[in-house]
């Protein structure tokens, strides 16, 4: 039905990339404008890790902006800021965006920020967030964007880990009708953190005036008024472009490091070969700059490709209605669109017949990509039916930085299968291994792993903790990168992702660690022990629920405890975690040696079949937990067992 996309053969390209990665990626690297082209394609870094293009020199902001101006695209729109929550739309041509970025790079330079220094960006979805990121890249500083929904404690953890010289923030973010003042959150985080930040630069928005009362506070606009533009500085391919913290299995987030060279080659490749867009076309990813999708496909990827990108400050619904996505596509002639399935579940709930779609001309749209969480078949079918264009579910992670599996629309079109994330992308040798490390056959479930070397663009280390990188990703199955997802490959080579095999959950497309929430819940004076698990949710995919044991002798009404714990998780992690339910238990399922059986609890919560482990001390508790989670019951279970 959708033939005519393919120009070469996927199988040929895939096997070329695996048989001779060096030649394949050397060829792809020619598509970007290096200051100094790399002569070494694949080598080892000082951690003995695979490293791409080590002696290449480039600048990511130059590639995103100046390069296109040199190519004659200076007047073309580079970025559209579309904000239904403030009723604002503005556009920046490549020249205008380059000038803004160069001047803000001057601000950072004036504050003493130089190559290798870290800058934390805690900002909502406004153009200045992208400008700040690109300004860091321009001077070789390493940005670390923290999602605006994170509470001060989480921001403080990231400040202490990244040790930035400067923090950049806006006076507020806007969530539907409510305005969230950011500066008090930043002040609180700075109070909690041990690291001393030198400057806090605040962009005043008209909705809230932040108080700039601390010695380190600076006004964005005043600094900008005095700043001189700065030219891009060459950096090494292996120099970090950014750190993006992501949830792991413990409460402490992992600082995923992204290099400059591999990232630029991989993203440029993905825009051509996977998303099939060309310079001058409009690419829209509705996500947030605080997540990897925002980094790769709102800011860097589309700009590297010379596309127009859209920064949308709104929600799929209620800003003002469930037709807002269709309105943006029609207004800006979007050619390729990417968002999380949750967004469409919200739209479908409010407008099940997609009646609002009829109000807009969305004929510019060629392909829709979804990722970030599992797409349920009903939503997938609904999208196919209402849009009549290819709907591609594709799969990747913060760590990989770009898709691992997809329909490669710029290589060859293969019919998607509902429930599958399609085919491994050239460069990724995706395999399914059993726990014992044996390769699984078609249809057999196991750990989804990627045989080393990873292609360009994937994380080379965890910021400041290479051992954690080795432990988290490379030690489970030696010679393979461990994705943390379980799944299988069918007889046609299509990959199916069945969910995480660790303590990471995915709430409305947001990745969260249950360990992070457990730390908060366990800190309540009435709580003796707890386990937080992800429970299936029709709208948000998963939501967390806490299994809680109350301390002996403490008498607290379950509803009151639940309210207090919900308030604590909102205050310490963020409201977007959607922690709303606890179940009081007498005991947690444990091995006889006292280890909590998290894997079984997870399976119960996911309503997946589970085997009662031989080592369990009390099998009855499993049925009780299953019933309680299913019924959403707060109350004491397991009494007397």
Query: Which residues here bind ligand AMP, judged by CB under 6 A?
Result: 246, 291-292, 371-374, 393-395, 397-398, 421, 483-485, 497, 500, 506, 511
d(C-alpha 594, C-alpha 599), whole Å: 14
- Which residue lies nearer to ligand COA by CB, 29 or 392? 392
d(C-alpha 43, C-alpha 54), whole Å: 7
- Which residue lies nearer to ligand AMP by CB, 166 or 508? 508
- Which residue lies nearer to ligand COA by CB, 149 or 306? 149
Residue with tokens 């046609």: 492
Taking CB under 6 A as the criterion, which residues in 360-379 touch ligand COA?
Answer: 372
Stretch that binds ligand COA, among 82-90, 315-323, 527-535, 583-591 (CB under 6 A): 315-323
Stretch that binds ligand COA, among 132-140, 227-235, 340-348, 441-449 (CB under 6 A): 340-348
- Which residue lies nearer to ligand COA by CB, 14 or 122? 122
What is the smallest separation between the CB atom of 543 and ligand COA, expressed in angstroms?
A: 9
Residue 171, helix vs strand vs coil: coil
What is the smallest separation between the CB atom of 405 and ligand AMP, expressed in angstroms?
A: 8
- Helices marked H in 549-612 — which ranges? 558-572, 598-605
Residue 51, helix vs strand vs coil: strand
Taking residues 113 to 152 in sequence order and writing x for each that binds ligand COA by CB under 6 A, - otherwise, the string is: -----------------------------------xx---
d(C-alpha 578, C-alpha 543), whole Å: 6
Residue 228, helix vs strand vs coil: coil
Site membership for ligand COA, residue 173 (CB under 6 A): yes
- Which residue lies nearer to ligand COA by CB, 32 or 383? 383
Site membership for ligand COA, residue 509 (CB under 6 A): yes
User: Residue 261 binds what, of ligand AMP, ligand COA, none (CB under 5 to 8 Å, by partner type)?
Assistant: none
Tell me how many degrees the CA angle 616-617-623 measures, rounded to the nearest 5.
Answer: 70
- Which residue lies nearer to ligand AMP by CB, 165 or 482? 482
- Which residue lies nearer to ligand AMP by CB, 216 or 575? 575
Taking CB under 6 A as the criterion, which residues in 276-305 touch ligand COA?
Answer: 286-287, 291, 293
Q: Exactly one of 175, 217, 219, 331 binds ligand COA (CB under 6 A); which one?
A: 175
DSSP letter string, 478-491? TTEEEEEEEEEE-T
Distance of CA 101 to the CA centre of its chain: 24
Cβ 78 vs Cβ 94: under 8 Å:
yes
Q: Which of 503, 636, 512, 501 is nearest to 578 (CA)?
A: 512
Site membership for ligand COA, residue 575 (CB under 6 A): yes
Residue 202, helix vs strand vs coil: strand
User: Residue 14 binds what, of ligand AMP, ligand COA, none (CB under 5 to 8 Å, by partner type)?
Assistant: none
- Which residue lies nearer to ligand COA by CB, 268 or 578? 578
Cβ 264 vs Cβ 58: under 8 Å:
yes
Give the list of residues 6+ apart from residue 321 with CB closer than 8 angstroms, or none.
350, 351, 356
What is the smallest separation between the CB atom of 284 and ligand COA, expressed in angstroms?
A: 12
Give the list of residues 6+ apart from residue 152 with CB closer than 8 angstroms, or none.
185, 186, 188, 189, 192
Site membership for ligand COA, residue 155 (CB under 6 A): no
Q: Considering CB under 6 A, how many residues would be counted as binding ligand COA?
A: 24
Q: Which runs of E-coded beta strand occur in 75-114? A: 77-83, 88-93
- What phi, psi does 544 have (nearest 5°)? -80, 150
User: Residue 576 binds what, of ligand COA, ligand AMP, none (CB under 5 to 8 Å, by partner type)?
Assistant: ligand COA
Q: What's 365-401 look like in SS3?
A: CCEEEECCCCCCHHHHHHHHHHHCCCEEECECCCCCC
- What phi, psi does 575 have (nearest 5°)? -65, -30
- Which residue lies nearer to ligand COA by CB, 108 or 317? 317
What is the smallest separation between the CB atom of 330 and ligand COA, expressed in angstroms?
A: 20
Bridge partners of residue 243, in order along the sequence: 257
**Using N-to-C axis directions, what is the helix angle for 377-387 and 341-350, rounded to 10°?**
70
User: Residue 387 binds what, of ligand AMP, ligand COA, none (CB under 5 to 8 Å, by partner type)?
Assistant: none
- Which residue lies nearer to ligand COA by CB, 148 or 240? 148
Binding site for ligand COA (CB under 6 A): 148-149, 173, 175, 180, 286-287, 291, 293, 315-317, 339-340, 342-343, 346, 372, 508-509, 540, 575-576, 578
């Amino acid at each position: 039905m959708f033939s005519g996309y393919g120009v070469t053969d996927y199988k040929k390209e895939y096997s070329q990339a695996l048989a001779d990665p060096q030649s394949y990626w050397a060829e792809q690297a020619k598509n970007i404008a290096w200051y100094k082209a790399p002569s070494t394609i694949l080598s080892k870094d000082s951690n003995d890790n695979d490293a791409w293009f080590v002696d290449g020199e480039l600048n990511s902001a130059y590639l995103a902006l100046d390069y296109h101006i040199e190519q004659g695209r200076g007047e073309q729109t580079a970025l559209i800021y579309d904000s239904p929550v403030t009723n604002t739309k503005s556009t920046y041509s490549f020249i205008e965006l380059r000038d803004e970025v160069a001047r803000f790079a001057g601000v950072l330079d004036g504050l003493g920020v130089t190559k290798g220094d870290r800058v934390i960006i805690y900002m909502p979805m406004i153009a200045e967030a992208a400008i700040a990121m690109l300004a860091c890249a321009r001077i070789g500083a390493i940005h670390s964007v923290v999602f605006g929904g994170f509470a001060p404690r989480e921001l403080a953890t990231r400040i202490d880990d990244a040790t930035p010289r400067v923090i950049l923030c806006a006076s507020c973010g806007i969530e539907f009708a409510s305005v969230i003042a950011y500066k008090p959150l930043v002040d609180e985080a700075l109070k909690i953190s041990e690291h001393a930040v030198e400057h806090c630069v605040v962009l005043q928005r008209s909705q809230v005036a932040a108080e700039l009362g601390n010695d380190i506070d600076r006004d964005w606009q005043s600094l900008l008024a005095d700043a001189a533009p700065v030219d891009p500085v060459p950096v090494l391919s292996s120099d970090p472009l950014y750190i993006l913290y992501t949830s792991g299995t413990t409460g402490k987030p992992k600082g995923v490091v992204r290099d400059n060279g591999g990232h630029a080659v991989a993203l440029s490749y993905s825009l051509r070969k996977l998303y099939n867009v060309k310079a001058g076309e409009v690419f829209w990813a509705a996500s947030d700059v605080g997540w990897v999708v925002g980094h790769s496909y709102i800011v860097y990827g589309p700009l590297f490709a010379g596309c127009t990108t859209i920064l949308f400050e709104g929600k799929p619904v209620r800003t003002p209605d469930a037709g807002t996505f269709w309105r943006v596509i029609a207004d800006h002639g979007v050619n390729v669109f990417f968002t999380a399935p949750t967004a469409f579940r919200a739209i479908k709930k409010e407008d099940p017949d997609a009646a609002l779609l009829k109000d807009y001309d969305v004929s510019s749209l060629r392909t829709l990509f979804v990722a970030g969480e599992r797409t349920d078949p009903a939503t997938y079918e609904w999208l196919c039916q209402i849009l009549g264009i290819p709907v591609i579910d594709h799969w990747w992670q913060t760590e990989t930085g770009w898709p691992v599996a997809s329909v490669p629309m710029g290589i060859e079109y293969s019919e998607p299968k509902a429930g599958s994330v399609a085919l491994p992308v050239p460069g990724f040798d995706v395999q399914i291994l059993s726990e014992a490390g044996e390769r699984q056959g078609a249809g057999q479930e196991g750990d989804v792993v990627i045989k080393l070397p990873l292609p360009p663009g994937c994380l080379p280390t965890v910021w400041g903790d290479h051992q954690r990188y080795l432990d988290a990703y490379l030690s489970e199955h030696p010679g393979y990168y461990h994705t943390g997802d379980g799944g299988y490959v069918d007889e046609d080579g299509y990959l199916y992702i069945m969910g995480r095999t660790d303590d990471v959950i995915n709430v409305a497309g947001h990745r969260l660690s249950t360990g992070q929430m457990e730390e908060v819940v366990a800190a309540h004076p009435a709580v003796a022990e707890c386990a937080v698990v992800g429970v299936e949710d029709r709208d948000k995919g998963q939501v967390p629920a806490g299994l809680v044991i109350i301390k002996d002798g403490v008498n607290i009404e379950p509803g009151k405890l639940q309210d207090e714990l919900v308030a604590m998780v909102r205050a310490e992690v963020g409201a977007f975690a959607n922690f709303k339910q606890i179940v009081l238990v007498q005991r947690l399922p444990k091995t006889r040696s006292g280890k909590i059986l998290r894997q079984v609890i997870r399976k119960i919560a996911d309503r997946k079949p589970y085997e009662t482990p031989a080592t369990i001390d009390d099998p009855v508790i499993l049925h009780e937990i299953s019933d309680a989670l299913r019924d959403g019951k707060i109350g004491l279970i397991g009494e007397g067992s």
